[in-house]
Amino acid sequence: MNLNLTDRQIAEGRRLLKGLLPRLRKEVSLASPDGIMQPTSLIGQSLMGRIGHDNLDALVIRRSSGGWHADVVLTGMPLGVSNVMGTPEARPLPSREAALEAGTGILRQLCRLAAENALAGRDQPLGDTRPFELHGHTFQIPGPVVEQVRLIWAAMGKGLVPDAQAARNLLTENLVRTMGSDSFDPDRYAALSDDEKSSIGISMATLLQFGEFRHPDRPVAAPAHEEDPSP
């Protein structure tokens, strides 16, 4: 899912985050269970051990055709790891104030997580995998594979896979060829040859290059028109 945030949204989000961070960091108490982040998806969980204070880049409050959304934008994430954590696209909020409150809550949780990670000192090495959700089934793509695919596409140029839609089309073609349709059957997958499994894995790793972590993708809420009055 690519939000395509504008430079203006990012700049405003950075100013907003800069104003909130000092207070939120003071509010964080590791002795209290309040504010513990418990993402339910492996895509969200893959962020848990990576978040540090330096990764918090912007808090973007944006309006869509259905309501309001909040997104905490992260920087310094490795290729194939999500750089946004925000409110659900499918459940827009009724007002800018509600989105700001929700976004501040997410940012407060991330501040706590950053403090926990700093305290832990990363005693245990972080398993380098990049989750990808394929028709509801999560694959753990090894980080070195994602990096190797990046090098291959860089060497070959962007002619074959110029953008995320081309990468998604490639995955769809491989699923249709191996599964019979754009779907995923674990039993059928288990019976595939190593080459067929590799073609699906490389397709998923290719989509990760474009910041896409699911197939099919979750739709992004359409932005509001500039002339629409704020509620």
What are the boundaries of each domain within the chain?
A: 7-120, 129-215
For residue 217, what are the contacts with CB-CB under 8 A and spacing of at least 6?
1, 168
Structural tokens at position 35: 């504010």
- Output the pLDDT for position 145: 87
pLDDT tens digit sequence for 80-113: 888 899 999 899 999 999 999 999 999 998 998 8
The pTM score is 0.64
90-103 b/e (C-beta count within 10 Å ≥ 16 → b): eebbeebebbbebb
For residue 128, what are the contacts with CB-CB under 8 A and spacing of at least 6?
78, 142, 143, 144
Structural tokens at position 32: 């209290």
Query: Rounded mean pLDDT of 22-29?
Result: 85
How many residues are given for the chain?
231
Examine the pLDDT at 49 and tell me if it is beyond 60. Answer: yes
- Output the pLDDT for position 43: 65
Examine the pLDDT at 120 and tell me if it is beyond 80. Answer: no
- Output the pLDDT for position 208: 92
Answer yes or no: are the C-beta atoms of 150 and 209 closer than 8 Å: yes
For residue 63, give the DSSP letter. Answer: E
Query: Rounded mean pLDDT of 196-221?
Result: 88
Residue with more model confidence, 231 or 158: 158
Query: Rounded mean pLDDT of 124-138?
Result: 79
Q: Distance between CA 163 and CA 103 in Å, rounded? A: 30
Helices (H), 28-95: 42-48
Confidence of residue 228 (pLDDT cuts 50, 70, 90): very low
- Output the pLDDT for position 129: 82
Q: Distance between CA 55 and CA 180 in Å, rounded? A: 42
Query: Rounded mean pLDDT of 72-85?
Result: 88
Confidence of residue 114 (pLDDT cuts 50, 70, 90): confident
Structural tokens at position 95: 């007002």
What is the overall mean pLDDT for the chain? 84
pLDDT tens digit sequence for 153-186: 888 777 778 899 999 999 999 999 999 999 999 9
Confidence of residue 38 (pLDDT cuts 50, 70, 90): low
Residue with more model confidence, 59 or 228: 59
Query: Rounded mean pLDDT of 54-78?
Result: 94
Listing DSSP states for 121-175 in one string gives TT-SPPP-EEEEEETTEEEEEEHHHHHHHHHHHHHH-SSSS-SHHHHHHHHHHHH
Q: Distance between CA 70 and CA 92 in Å, rounded? A: 9
Q: Distance between CA 167 and CA 149 in Å, rounded? A: 12
Residue with more model confidence, 224 or 93: 93
Report the range of poorest mean pLDDT among 144-148, 159-163, 202-206, 222-226. Answer: 222-226
Task: Give the phi and the psi of residue 136 in degrees, each rounded to 5.
Answer: 85, -5
